[in-house]
Amino acid sequence: MKQTSIRAYHSLKESGQLTRLQRKVLEAFRNHGPMTGSQVSKLVPGGWKRISELCSMGVLDRGLDKVYDSATHQSVYEYTTTGQEPMLKNPAKRKPSAKALQMLIDKMAQGKDISALYAKAYEQGYKDAKSGYALPEEL
């Protein structure tokens, strides 16, 4: 296990940014290395449910290749720790606001190119997530 992963884990644990179950799942990854969802659930019952949350927070990463899981008899992804601090505390999945959608519809109706608007929203990255994926008001 990388020293950065260990430091990041202790930092998260002390900060209280992770729930009890999230901490248990992250600790299982730290102790056992890359695992599949079913392997995590053998160590932490129901732990597979926390994997997507931890991935969205940036503390777990999904591998590129699938591996055979003997428990499910399927090809599944393995996950591993990133050694990173969480980028957001459980970001909520939100839809663009009605105002933002109406703005896009209006611009499209006027025949305007909205690709610059999307490019600007993309540049904002996690800032958009913090504000509910709000699109920028102006180009």
Residue 86 lies in a domain: no
Q: Which residues pair with 68 in a beta bridge?
A: 75
The per-residue pLDDT for range 29-42, each reduced to its tens digit, is: 999 999 999 999 99
Q: In this predicted structure, what is the pLDDT of residue 126?
A: 47
Q: Report the half-sphere exposure of 27 (CA within 13 A, side-chain side).
A: 13
CB 87 within 8 A of CB 110: no
Residues 9 and 54 in one domain: yes
Residues 96 and 65 in one domain: no
Give the orientation angle of helix 20-32 with respect to helix 3-15, to 10 degrees.
170
For residues 72 and 102, which has the higher predicted lDDT (pLDDT)?
Answer: 72
Domain boundary among 35, 52, 81: 81
Residues 64 and 103 in one domain: no
pTM above 0.85, yes or no: no
**What is the CB neighbour count within 10 angstroms for residue 112?**
13
Q: In this predicted structure, what is the pLDDT of residue 53?
A: 87
Residues 24 and 75 in one domain: yes
53: domain CATH number is 1.10.10.10
Residue 65 lies in a domain: yes
- Tell me the residue range of the domain where 125 lies: 92-139
Q: What ranges make up the beta strands (E) of 8-118?
A: 60-69, 74-81
Residues 19 and 45 in one domain: yes
Residue 22 CB contacts under 8 Å (≥ 6 apart), including other chains:
50, 53, 54
Residues 138 and 106 in one domain: yes
Residues 77 and 18 in one domain: yes
Residue with tokens 């025949």: 111
